[in-house]
Structure 1
Amino acid sequence: MPGKSLDRNGALKDVKVLDLSNFLAAPMASMFLADFGADVLKVERPVHGDEIRMWGESKEGVGLYYKVLNRGKKSITLDLRTPLGVEAVKKLVADVDVVVENYRTGTLEKWGLGYDVLAQINPGLIMVRITGFGQTGPYSGRPGFGTLAEAYAGYAQISGYPDGAPLLPGFGLADSTTGLMAAYLTMVALHEKRLTGRGQVVDLGIYETLLTLIGPNVINYDQLGIVQKRNGSRLPFTAPRNTYQTRDGRWVALAGSAQSTFVHLCETLGIPEVANDPRFIDNRKRLQNVAALDEEIGKAVAKFALSDLLERSSALQSTIAPVNDVAQIFEDPHIKSRENICAVYDAELDTVLNMQNVVGKLSSSPGAVRHPGPRLGQHNREILVDRLGYAAADLAQAGIALDEPEAGAQSASH
């Protein structure tokens, strides 16, 4: 903004995070913090590292999704089951604001790294604990992953078509939403700490955020006894909302939540009479006659080529969007203008990586992707030797190399 100097270090430049986590949800939480300048130190297992290094696609043996989820962080290797690993974590905890972990409930306590122990070292410590089912309750000891949460929280049951099987999402929905919520709760806890000096535990089950996000299911069941059924791409509380195929075989999504929006849609599609049809005259009537409404809209959309329909939609300001694949997202002029995808040089692969940019734009202290996820143990010497004072020989005896091989590349070579 004019007259303001931008803080290029990020709004969270004074926040120190020790990330003991693996996989997706918890690392994504610390990724969001790193995006806005937090100093995030990731602890990984020697030799193998975070298992997400082996998830999905790789290039030259290097896991690509790891590069996104662990961007902006430093990496060291420690075995938390060993005395040296426990001792090193305790030393690091003395000088951090937040610990993020996602081991099964009771695991850190078994290793002597529970919150009761760490809070004695650092009374202001915030520990973010992400597990499948939370730290309490009859299921707290069960293993849990995002896929289980998507079923358990009710998402899969309402996803798909009435005559088909429940559908799981095509990406880590439960893990990703948990990462967002964990980052938010971390900021709430940091605010409390700034007011009182107190630390605390953030206890988050992977299913819990999704349970809140599935809509009015809970209150509708409580008050009306309604159990939402699978209904394709429709919503149970507003119509129209669906995907429709154009004349040239492409797809669009449209929604007409407000009455004025619905009228604009009908004008755009060349069916103004549908807006005045008694069956569709308001949202409740449209919900009662949703199959007939879908038929009318489907026939209208099928008369247009995608480009013509989008041009008409833009001119009339109606709510229609193309169903993009990732190749189309890369070429979209709005996404380019908003810089929603950014290019970052990666020294390990000696190439530029394009990845999703920081979410949201702060006018005075914007976030930034400072570097992709690091090599395994890239910062062992800086942290373990230079900062904590360990001798290289002692680290080697504990199975920790000062220059760890990249886990994916090592595995690919065998």
Structure 2
Amino acid sequence: MRTDPSRPTAIEPSAPATAGAPLPLAGVRVLELGQLIAGPFATRMLGEFGAEVLKVEPPGQGDPLRNWRLLHQGTSVWWQVQSRNKKSLSLDLREPEIQALVRRLAGECDVVVENFKPGTLEAWGLGWDDLHALYPRLIMLRVSGYGQTGPYRDRPGFGVVAEAMGGLRHLSGEPGRPPVRVGISIGDSLSALHGVIGVLLALRAREQQGVGQMIDVALYESVFNMMESLLPEYAVFGEVRQPAGSSLPGIAPSNAYACRDGYVLVAGNGDSIFRRLMDLIERPDLGEDPALAHNTGRVARVDEIDAAIGAWAAARTQDEALEALNRARVPAGRIYDIADIAADPHYHARQMLLEDTLPDGTPCQVPGIVPKLSATPGSIRAAAPALGQHTDEILTALGVDAATREQWRSQGLI
């Protein structure tokens, strides 16, 4: 596995690749103009599967994510994950000379990824119309709060707002209590995943048709796309789904049940699974009741079923309950925090916890790579870069001489 020699790392490859097989996105060059989460998460995934990612950051502080949450020697440990396999250029995009440079750099790339407010790149001469006219084969992924069109396009949009507008926040929490945040920036991450899908589709279309295209990903739409049957239920029945806590509304039984020392999640909603579950908790009267043979009947009596499972769980520890449920082939599990994840043998066996080192040699675990491809698995080939670490390398390749680079550096442009 190749690594950046200036940033040693102890990361192991996520899986053995077929000998000599290139990564699926090898040869694809991506220019990242985004920051924080949505755009950079998309390019992180592209980079893990072989794309060369050139990340543009403003001089000085760089991407604000470098300073988010817990810092080690002034840099977020999150940065180690979000920016692995990337090269950092420190450029001031507000300056006309740099805008002209970036237009040239875009011509050297297959994909441009950005997550600025709509209109920002247009003001810099770097919008889709500008770049597409120059480079018809270029693909551009644009991630924004509300998309590039529509009455809300000019509003500032963050993931938390998108989660609310997309319908997720309304469903999160306990009945009768204020809605709660999911706990992570899920709106941004979902948008990144939709963006990656869009890029892969656009690359395939370019193979077929010879031209690139623009991919318009809105944060709120990425959330809304996950909202299952909310819209048809409302359209047909006037049903507005409400928060349901830990239960799965309309599917029974599926809930969290209190044991002596914590909770277990039980998904006993398949017909045959339900019968096995009722046998396990010694409630054959429920398991053999014809009215409960299918989900519709169970939903009508979900409180009765939950009470029976809850009584069984309350008399046991988590380990006792889970051992019995697994023996009975009933899907069940405990609620993990990160300490549970870090200690779990299955995570380790699946290489989802990789050993890394921070720039000063401090050990650090980072998440493994998803999805897992059997012949051409993704890899971590270089650690997250220092700010501007690759500026000179990439500008030199573009033909910018040393004197010009030093002049720009003295002016704070790079």
Residues 1:312 and 2:324 aligned together: yes
State the alpha-carbon separation in 2 of the partners of residues 121 and 398 from structure 1: 28
* Cα drift, residue 390 of structure 1: 3.9
* Cα drift, residue 170 of structure 1: 0.4
* Cα drift, residue 256 of structure 1: 2.1
SS in 2 for 1:10: coil
* Preserved contact between residue 36 and residue 64 of structure 2 (Cα < 8 Å): yes
* Preserved contact between residue 355 and residue 363 of structure 2 (Cα < 8 Å): yes
Q: CA offsets per residue over residues 99-124 of structure 1, 9 Å max, x none?
A: 00000011000111111111233110
Residues 1:353 and 2:364 aligned together: yes
Q: Normalising to structure 1: TM-score of the pair?
A: 0.92
Match of 2:3 in 1: none
Instruction: From 204, 228, 235, give the equivalent of 1:191.
Output: 204
Instruction: Give structure 2 stretches of 5+ with no counterpart.
Output: 1-16
SS in 1 for 2:305: helix
Match of 1:83 in 2: 96
State the alpha-carbon separation in 1 of the partners of residues 20 and 376 from structure 2: 5
Residues 1:291 and 2:303 aligned together: yes
* Preserved contact between residue 257 and residue 310 of structure 2 (Cα < 8 Å): yes
Q: How do residues 26-105 of structure 1 correspond to structure 2 at under 5 angstroms?
A: 26-105=39-118
Q: CA offsets per residue over residues 121-157 of structure 1, 9 Å max, x none?
A: 3110000000000000000011001000110011111
Match of 2:29 in 1: 16
Q: Quickly say closer, same or farther: Cα 1:270–1:38, change in 2 above 3 A.
A: farther
Q: Quickly say closer, same or farther: Cα 1:21–1:299, change in 2 above 3 A.
A: same
Question: What amino acid maps onto 1:79 in structure 2?
Answer: D
Question: What amino acid maps onto 1:296 in structure 2?
Answer: A
Q: CA offsets per residue over residues 311-354 of structure 1, 9 Å max, x none?
A: 222222211111111111111111111111112334x2323321
State the alpha-carbon separation in 2 of the partners of residues 75 and 63 from structure 1: 16
Q: Normalising to structure 2: TM-score of the pair?
A: 0.92
Match of 2:342 in 1: 330
Match of 2:148 in 1: 135
State the alpha-carbon separation in 2 of the partners of residues 240 and 44 from structure 1: 49
Kindly report the root-mean-square deviation, in angstroms, between the aligned alpha carbons of the 2 structures: 1.7
Of 304-313 and 136-145, more deviation after overlay is shown by: 304-313
Superposed structure 1 runs of 4+ greater than 6 Å apart: none
Of 391-400 and 85-94, more deviation after overlay is shown by: 391-400
Question: What amino acid maps onto 2:39 in structure 1?
Answer: A
Residues 1:321 and 2:368 aligned together: no
State the alpha-carbon separation in 1 of the partners of residues 307 and 409 from structure 2: 69
SS in 2 for 1:109: helix
* Cα drift, residue 299 of structure 1: 1.0
* Cα drift, residue 66 of structure 1: 1.7
* Cα drift, residue 69 of structure 1: 1.1
Q: How do residues 174-323 of structure 1 correspond to structure 2 at under 5 angstroms?
A: 174-247=187-260, 249-277=261-289, 280-323=292-335
Q: How many residues align?
A: 396
State the alpha-carbon separation in 1 of the partners of residues 65 and 46 from structure 2: 19
Q: Quickly say closer, same or farther: Cα 1:289–1:372, change in 2 above 3 A.
A: farther
* Cα drift, residue 257 of structure 1: 2.7
Instruction: From 371, 389, 400, give the equivalent of 1:389.
Output: 400
Residues 1:120 and 2:130 aligned together: no
Q: Quickly say closer, same or farther: Cα 1:8–1:336, change in 2 above 3 A.
A: farther
Instruction: Give structure 1 stretches of 5+ with no counterpart.
Output: 402-414
Q: Quickly say closer, same or farther: Cα 1:267–1:88, change in 2 above 3 A.
A: farther
Instruction: From 174, 180, 198, give the equivalent of 1:167.
Output: 180
* Cα drift, residue 277 of structure 1: 4.0
* Cα drift, residue 56 of structure 1: 1.1
SS in 2 for 1:190: helix
* Preserved contact between residue 268 and residue 277 of structure 2 (Cα < 8 Å): yes
Q: CA offsets per residue over residues 35-54 of structure 1, 9 Å max, x none?
A: 10110110000001111112
State the alpha-carbon separation in 2 of the partners of residues 136 and 323 from structure 1: 41
SS in 1 for 2:88: strand
* Cα drift, residue 8 of structure 1: 6.0
Of 392-401 and 154-163, more deviation after overlay is shown by: 392-401
State the alpha-carbon separation in 2 of the partners of residues 278 and 125 from structure 1: 60
